Structure 1
Amino acid sequence: MMIHDRSDVATKIKPEVPHAARIWNYWMGGKDNFAADRNAGDAVAKVYPEIVQMAVQSRRFLIQAVRYLAAEAGVSQFLDIGTGLPTMQNTHEVAQSIDPTARIVYVDNDPLVLVHARALLRNTSPEGVTAYVDGDYHEPELIIAEARKVLDFSKPIAVMFMGVLGYVEDLEVMRSIIERCMHAVPSDSYMVLWDGTATGEAVAEGSDKLAESGAVPYYLRSLEELAGFFDGLHLVEPGLAPITQWRPEDETKAPSIDAYGGVARKP
């Protein structure tokens, strides 16, 4: 199922300009990127090689969080905002492997993402629903309006911001996006959020290199700032933690990393 579709997306892809979703795809070992994206990714990795681990570990965090929500919290609806390019173990694949009736709405405004979503973001179960909204997270009301066509807003929904709100420079704008989305979902809904954090000199240098490459800048948050976005919500154990340490399968192989996230319930 596709929502808010556009037929001219291919003409809006600009391979000469490095783009966040494609750079991230490159770091994760994907092939859906161009030379400009690889050059930008290499510039960051040269000063902050841990960025490749961060990319891989961010997917592990998504998998663990969705598994928890679908298997333990009983959530069967997911609103994945800023989904990025499809890769292995996407939200709908994880959720529908646990609950075949799970309904997932992906949101992104990148034309390359839309092209791939058409081909790859398909149900893995006949009972489930997988849909795509072509939208910008700066317009939460539009996203919610489109998502209502698929999701039942009288029942819990997991709202997901997976490493995407670091592209929002203004903290109050970021807070407004989160609050407006969470205001629309009912009690016992959840928010899943992670972002890069200003917890080391190397990661800050990597952020500078990203901006110098011509890509959209990524703004690192302090732990205090990131924690503030969970205000009014009840964090699930282990709380706000490095994404490598959020319910790892093997705690002995879970080093800290300059990216923190959490899962929290709306009371």
Structure 2
Amino acid sequence: MLSRFFKQPVCPESPQSESDTLTEPWRKIPWGCKERDLQVVRDYKPHNEELEQLRIMLHGPTGSGKSSFINSVDTVLQGRMTSQALEDAVSQDTFTKEYRTFKIKRSGPGTLYPFVFTDIMGLEKETNQGVSVEDLKLAMSGHIKDGYNFNPFSAISVDNSCYNKAPTLKDRVHLLVCVIPAASVNLQSAESVAKMRAVRLAARNIGIPQLAILTKIDEACPQVKADIKNVYMSMYLKKQMEVFSDSLGIPVKCIFPVKNYHSEIDPDDDTDTLILSALKHMINLGEDFVNQQ
């Protein structure tokens, strides 16, 4: 099954041929309805009285855009460019070193949205680099506190001050999101794929719902770079999503292509629409999970 992960051609630099472009979008998305989608997010409140916020954990290879996605969501909800999660455009190694939860402010003073994002160290292909699968398992179960500096050589010990010996529902992860660049789907090593698959199975074993985000879609496909509304007209992106689904087992309906904010200085409605589409599904899946606890 993993062999399919490495054989898909990259999107051509030249304009795509007619066979690369679908005549109809294969997934419907409500372009022009940003304000409606924003209101859905603004109105959300967890129904489970034990919780104030859903906890969404992002994981994936180094440089996949996890921190950028957090900042992009923050940008959409604030209506201005933000950079709450630190990003790095130079280092090839993971820039995020510690376990950290990011809260997003509402427009009113002192109020927060009822969901948080947990950013973690990237999954490196080498065994002794990046966050360990064992640490991820413990984090998903709520055993790791904010501020823990990941050690690629060993998992957190119960004696560590950042080890939570008695996690409650609010400490646990309520949704796991795998983040990977669209053009890198066919470039991931077997070791990286195995790590991502191990994390997925660990989440399954404790019942945590999962979805995936394909980032950098504009860099992956010139058709989308020309007009982001072509995202579901691109045969290349559709194939990438299918290959990713076959490799990790995440259903295509749970994979969302997005463009994170990178060089822009002002938000864009169409970029926001894709981010909101992914965010709404995250909230729905997380809400379903906590209501079953």
TM-score normalised to structure 1 length: 0.36
Higher relative contact order (CA 8 A, sep 6+): 2
TM-score normalised to structure 2 length: 0.34
